[in-house]
Amino acid sequence: MKKEPTTKQQPLPSSAGNANEDTRRRACLGQGGFRNWLEFRRNHLDFLHRVARECGDFAELKIGPQRVFLINDPRLIKEMLVTHHKDFKRGPGHQAMKRVVLGNGLLTSDGEFHRRQRRLAQPAFHKQRIAGYGETMTGHTARSVARWRDGSEIDLAKEMMDLSLSILTKTLIDADIGGEAKDIGADVHTVLLGSFGLLDSPWGFLAGRFGLPIPRSRKLRAAQKRLDHIIYQIINERRHTGEDRGDFISMLLMAQDQEANNAQMTDLQVRDEAMTILVAGQETIALAMTWTWYLLAKHADIRAKLLQEVDQVLAGRIPTVDDLPRLELARRILTESMRLYPPVWAVGRVALHDLTLGGHRVPKGSLVMVSPFVTQHDPRFFPNPERFDPDRWLETGKPEQQQKLAYFPFLTGPNRCIGEQYAWMEGVLAIATIAREWTLELGPGQLVEPQPMITLRPRYGMRMITRKRDMPVWQQ
C-alpha cells in the first residue's frame, strides 16, 4: 500500500489586491503559538500548506514563542533571498548546527564572512573542475549497480545514500573509502539526525535563538570526532605535500582571497567547509535520485521514454559529461522530481532589523520562512501540481517559472547552493547509468510518505525490486 502526501492543493490566495488579506493575516496571528507549534511538529508540510492556503502569500503567525512570516509570493521570495539578503541571518536551527556540528561553513555562516568563504570556495565548483568529476560519478554508479541481482529487493534510499557518499568522498578528499563506507556513512547519518534534532526541537530552537549551550549526545559527539579525524588527517597531508589532488580539499587549501591580500583559509575553515559538504551535500542528490526512481516506477510510460533516450544516446556505453546535452529527458525528469519532492523543503531567516518586504512590515527578530515544497505545489505556477509531468519543462531549459522564483529547489541569490551544478551533473549521469541496464519497481506493500527532516526523506525508506532490462534496441 502506498501512502501519498495528504495535502491536496487548492488555489492559493494572492496577496495583491485581496480585500480579505488583512482579516486572514489577523486570524493566523491570533492562533495560539503553542497550538501552531504542535500542529507544525505533527505534520510540517500539511501545516505550511494550510497556512499558505488560509493566510495568503504573506502569512503572519506564531509558532511557539516565535513570530513567523511564511512567504509564498515569488516576488517576495526574490526580495528576501536576493534584494534584502543582507538584512537577514540564518535561522535558529542553523545557528544551533553551527555550534554543535558544522562550524562556520557556507551553510551556517552569514554576512561578510560568508561572502569571503564563498569567494574562496567558488573555484572548487567551477564548471570545468566539476566536469572532471564526471568519470568518477559514472564509474562509482556502474560499480554500485553491478552488485544488484535481477528480482532482488533493495532499499533504494540507502543505496543512493551509499552511492552519493562514495562519489562525494572521492571528489572531496580523493579517497576511495571502500570498506570504511559503512562506518563513515553511519557517522554521517548520526550527525544528520543530530542536526535535525536541533532544527526540530524546542531546545534546539531556543539554543539557536538565544545562544544557550546545547547538550550533545555521546553518540553524536563520537561520530563528529571520527569525521573530524578523517578530515584533519587529509588537511595535514595536503599541507605537508602541497599536492593538488584535484579534490575539493586541495582546492580549498590553495584558494587565495585576492580582495584580502591573498589570504587563505585556516585549517578550521577548511574543516568547516569539508564537514558541510560531507554532511549537507551527501543527502541532496541522493534523495533527488530516490524520489526520481519512485516517480518513474509509478509512471511506466515516462520510464519507457527515458530508456529509449538512454539507448539512443549511449548505445550501451557508460555516459560521459559530453552526453549531458543530449540526455534532455533525463534532465527534465530530474527537474520535475525536484519540483514535487525538493530535497530542501523549507528555509528560515531571522530579520536583523525592522524592514519592509513588498510593503509588509517585518519586525526585527522575526523568522521569515520560504518553502520550495509549498510554492512548487502551487497551481497558480504549476497547473495540475500533483501530476508528474516532465513535459511541463519542454519550453526552455530555464522555464519562466524558474525566473519568477516559483521553482527554487537550490534556493537563489548569494546563498544559492554552491554545489548545484555538481548535483545536476551527478543526478543526470547516475540516472542514465542506472537506466542502461535496470528498471525499478516498488516493493510490495511499500508505504511512501515524505518525511521533512533537514531534507525531504521517504519516511519508510524506499524498498524496490530490481529488474534487469530486456535486450535494449542497440543490442538487437
Give the pLDDT confidence score for residue 440 in this predicted structure. Answer: 97
Gap between the Cα atoms of 25 and 68, Å rounded: 12
Instruction: Please report, as a single letter, which amino acid is at residue 109.
Output: S
Quick count: other Cβ atoms within 10 Å of Cβ 279? 24
Range of the structural domain that residue 129 is part of: 21-475
C-alpha cell at 75: 516576488
Q: Do 59 and 51 contact (CB within 8 A), yes or no? A: yes
In angstroms, rounded to a whole number, what is the distance separating the alpha carbons of residues 301 and 2?
19
- Measure the CA–CA gap between 406 and 377, rounded to whole angstroms: 9
Residue-level length of the chain: 476
Q: What share of the chain in percent tops pLDDT 90?
A: 52
Beta-carbon contacts of residue 62 (< 8 Å; ≥ 6 apart)? 29, 31, 32, 33, 36, 68
CA gap 336, 341 in Å, rounded: 9
Question: Mean pLDDT throughout 177-193?
Answer: 72
Q: Is 23 helix (H, G, I), strand (E, B) or coil?
A: helix
Mean pLDDT along residues 333-352: 95
Q: What is the pLDDT of residue 437?
A: 94
- Of the pLDDT bands very low, low, confident and very high (cuts 50, 70, 90), residue 210 is low
C-alpha cell at 287: 534523495
Q: What are the two backbone dihedrals, phi and then psi, of residue 416, each rounded to the nearest 5 degrees?
A: -60, 145
Reduce the DSSP state of residue 448 to 3 states and report it. Answer: coil
**Nearest of 44, 72, 81 to residue 457 by alpha carbon:** 44
Backbone angles phi, psi at 242, to 5 degrees: 65, 15
Distance in angstroms (rounded) separating the CA atoms of residues 315 and 311: 5
Question: For 232-246, 357-371, 419-433, which range has the lowest pLDDT when averaged over its residues?
Answer: 232-246
The verdict on residue 3 lying in a domain is no
Read off the pLDDT band of 246 (50, 70, 90). Answer: confident
Cell numbers that stand for 239 in this block? 599541507
Mean per-residue pLDDT, 407-412: 93
**Residue position matching grid coordinates 578530515:** 231
- Look at residue 11 in the predicted model and tell me its pLDDT: 45
- pLDDT tens digits for 76-120? 999 999 999 999 999 877 777 787 788 899 988 999 999 989 988
Distance (Å) of CA 93 to CA 12, 89, 269, 412 = 28, 11, 20, 20
Residue 8 located in a structural domain = no
445 torsion bin: left (phi>0), alpha (psi -120 to 50), beta (else): left
- Strands, sheet with 463-468, edge to edge from the N-terminal-most edge strand: 153-155, 463-468, 438-442
Per-residue model confidence (pLDDT) at position 352? 96
Q: What phi, psi does 152 have (nearest 5°)?
A: -85, 160
* pLDDT tens digits, 24-37: 554 565 557 888 88
What pLDDT, in 10s, does the model give residues 388-405? 999 999 875 555 555 578
Residue in this structure with the C-alpha cell 541496464, named with its chain if needed:
437
**Phi then psi for 366, rounded to 5 degrees?**
-70, 150
- Is residue 172's pLDDT more than 50? yes
pLDDT at 195: 67
User: How many Cβ atoms sit within 10 Å of the Cβ of residue 228?
Assistant: 14
Mean pLDDT of 330-351: 96
The reply to whether 14 falls in a domain is no
For 247, the grid coordinates are 579534490
Residue 432 lies in a domain: yes
Helix (H) or strand (E) holding 438: strand 438-442
CATH number of domain containing 442: 1.10.630.10
Is residue 156 pLDDT above 60, yes or no?
A: yes
Q: Residues of the chain with pLDDT > 70: what percent?
A: 84
* Mean of all residue pLDDT scores within the chain: 85
Count of structural domains, the chain: 1
Model pTM score: 0.89
**Banded model confidence at residue 45, pLDDT cuts 50, 70, 90:** very high
16 belongs to a structural domain: no
Q: For residue 96, which amino acid is it?
A: A
Q: Which conformational region is residue 62 in: left (phi greater than 0), alpha (psi within -120 to 50 degrees), or beta?
A: beta
Lookup: cell for 37 = 507549534
Cα 303 off chain centre by: 24
Q: How confident is the model at residue 338 (pLDDT cuts 50, 70, 90)?
A: very high
The pLDDT of residue 367 is above 80: yes
What number is the average pLDDT over the span 45-52? Answer: 92
DSSP states along 79-144: IIIIITGGGEEE-HHHHHHIIIII-SSTTT--HHHHHHHHHHHGGGG-HHHHHTTHHHHHHHHHHH
Look at 401 and 150; give whichever has higher pLDDT: 150
Amino acid at 2: K
Average pLDDT of 346-366? Answer: 94
List the beta bridge partners of residue 88: 351
Is it the case that residue 319 has pLDDT exceeding 80?
yes
Q: List alpha helices for 264-327, DSSP H.
A: 267-298, 300-314
Indicate whether 12 belongs to any domain.
no
In a domain, 254, yes or no: yes
Residue 7, pLDDT > 50, answer no
Could you tell me the pLDDT band of residue 248, with boundaries at 50, 70 and 90? confident
Question: How much is the average pLDDT of 366-395?
Answer: 94
Asked if residue 7 belongs to a domain, the reply is: no
